[in-house]
Amino acid sequence: MQPQVHNRTIFTGDNLPILRGMNTESVDLVYLDPPFNSNRNYEAPVGSKAAHKIEKGDYDKIVYRHGKTEVALNDWWHISILNSQSKERTGYPTQKPMALLDRIIKASCPQGGLVLDSFCGCATTCVAAEKYGRQWIGIDISAKAVELVRTRLHKDLGIVTADDKKTTVWDAKVIHRTDIPKRSARGLARSHNIKNILYGQQEGFCSGCRTHFPMRNMEVDHIVPKAHGGQDTDDNLQLLCGACNRTKGIGTMADLMARLPTQVVARI
């Protein structure tokens, strides 16, 4: 599906609801370098297609080192770290070398394709994508990312970007957004007989307590709640029994699964 977000867009805000508002399969390369102290859960929602793909290992990844290896690896990317005196340094402690992003983008995103960095911070991914003719979208919790991408595009590539308040002559416009994007409606409306479809897919079992129920006792539920950016589309719908649906409320499936043992004990 085509992206509904323009090229050279920086979102300021929490990336989870922003990501949920983007069209499915509209990005060619997702680069992730999340902070390790965010205390957030970035796992795919329980029951979603993404979660199923992760469980099967059905996704592509670049592994620097994952535990101990039985065989010596000889295909390494020899890229120097950024030292404290490097001209690339912007002050971000997790900043990665431009050479690393250059290689990832050239190897993994087609010419003219779309790169997404949902922790874009110091804007290295955005600048590398611009350098090699790729489109890009960045998300960061700090508004500093907008300033950094404009500064680095000018400093590294000589591109003057538009600042609505100051610039009258410019080469490119960086769009700054603070809203949640809305997914394109075409082809995404729920099926008219979705309850029958889901009942067959789940073979009559509740997605929460995994108990079998007649269809009349099942209720259609949003896997990712609308209050959290979830969409009213087939791939975000499931069937829960009435008890599980009321226990879940406007929470997530992770919330429901955490409460279920307590609910079972209470019933016994």
Domain harbouring 237, CATH code: 1.10.30.50
- In the chain, what percentage of residues exceed pLDDT 90? 36
Average pLDDT, the chain: 79
| Domains in the chain, number | 2
Give me the amino acid identity at 252.
Answer: T
- Over residues 170-197, mean pLDDT: 80
Name every residue whose Cβ is closer than 8 Å to that of residue 56 and which is 6 or more positions away in sequence.
none
In angstroms, the CA 157 to CA 132 distance is: 11
Same domain as 257, residue 138: no
Shared-domain flag, residues 68 and 143: yes
Tokens for 207, please give them: 């997605």
Average pLDDT over residues 225-230: 79
Same domain for 137 and 217? no
Does residue 150 sit in the same domain as residue 214? no
Among 177, 212, 245, the domain-final residue is 177
pLDDT at residue number 196: 94
| 45 found inside a domain | no
Residue 58 belongs to some domain of the structure: no
Q: Does the predicted model carry a pTM greater than 0.75? A: no
What integer pLDDT is reported at residue 64 of this predicted model?
43
Sign of the alpha-carbon torsion through 100, 90, 38, 7: negative
Over residues 244-267, mean pLDDT: 79
**What's the domain range around 256?**
194-267
Q: What are the pLDDT digits (tens) for 36-95?
A: 555 555 454 444 454 444 444 444 444 444 455 455 545 566 777 777 777 877 777 778
pLDDT for 263: 55
pLDDT single digits (tens) 78-130:
777 777 777 877 777 778 888 899 999 999 999 999 999 999 988 899 999 99
> Is the pLDDT at 144 greater than 80, yes or no?
yes
Query: Same domain, yes or no, for 144 and 224?
Result: no
Q: Are residues 162 and 202 in the same domain?
A: no
Considering the domain architecture, whether residues 129 and 19 belong to the same structural domain is answered as yes
Residue 135 maps to which CATH number?
A: 3.40.50.150
Please check whether residue 149 lies inside any domain of the structure. Answer: yes
Task: Report pLDDT digits (tens) over 189-210.
Answer: 788 899 999 999 999 999 999 9
Can you state the percent helix, strand and coil of the chain, rounding each to 5? Answer: 30, 15, 55
Contact 188, 1 (CB under 8 A): no
Q: Tokens standing for 98?
A: 């431009």
Query: The dihedral of CA 82, 86, 88, 90: what is its sign?
Result: positive
Which helix (H) or strand (E) is 99 found in, with range? helix 98-108
Q: Dump the DSSP string for 101-155.
A: HHHHHHHHS-TT-EEEETT-TT-HHHHHHHHTT-EEEEEESSTHHHHHHHHHHHH
Do residues 72 and 120 both lie within one domain?
yes
Residue 221: count of CB within 10 angstroms of its CB: 23
Give the pLDDT band of residue 25 (cuts 50, 70, 90): confident
**Which of residues 6 and 70 earns the better pLDDT score?**
6
- CA distance linking residue 266 with residue 243, whole number of Å: 13
